[in-house]
Amino acid sequence: MISGANRGIGAAIAAHLAAAGWDLSLGMRSPTASTAAPGALVHAYDAERDGAESAWVAATLSRYGRIDAIVCNAGLMIPKTAIAISDAETASMFAVNVFGPQRLARAAWSALTASGCGRVVVIGSLSGKRVSSADSGAYAMTKFAAVALAHALRHAGWEVGIRATAVCPGFVATDMSAALTDLDPAAMTQPAEVARLVELALTLPNNASVAEIAVNGLLDGNF
């Protein structure tokens, strides 16, 4: 299951895993047939809406009979300082970036446990490791929490074979990054490279668990 799978990093993950032979269930706020993963189940999923995860999990189990992994990729970035951002905007970011993945993991937990080697990947950010600018401050608050969520899920699922990893990229060549920086997209990490790291986290055995994977296209002295 991949949330936010309609574009950017999510679409790249879907394409990469489809090519590797995974059966995919793609969650999208506005579902459209996936060109990245033809034949995949596409289901309505809004990470901000409580209850959306249960319907998506049920549809996935109905289609495939099992869930081996979830990739929590849906994200929201509002570029404001921790002072300037409103309570409502902060709540929206936490809803999508933290509570959405938490609820999705909870809904899929029984199926992940049944697999004996369930996997959870939370797409975090280097903003979940350090605050690099004032305007990324509020976003960083949510991504710190998302990284902590990955660690919490790793502890919660360890004895039943569930492994959780936070994948933390810096700027990735997507529409979101283009709106935030004037860096050359060629200098940024590419979505396909993030997808390769997600596959690594999904396919490592239970005795080779990786808690975090950080990746950056730039030399970052703050990390």
Catalytic residue ranges: 139
Q: Are 80 and 133 contacting, i.e. CB atoms less than 8 angstroms apart?
A: no
> DSSP characters for 126-150?
GGGT---SGGGHHHHHHHHHHHHHH
Q: Which residue has the tokens 């490592």?
A: 204
Gyration radius from the chain CA atoms? 16
**15 contact partners, CB below 8 Å, separation of at least 6:** 36, 37, 192, 195
CA 123 from centroid of its chain's CA atoms: 3
Cα–Cα distance for residue pair 128/146, rounded to 1 Å: 7
As given in the structure block, the two tokens for residue 189 are: 């990490």
**200 contact partners, CB below 8 Å, separation of at least 6:** 210, 213
Q: Which amino acid is at 175?
A: D
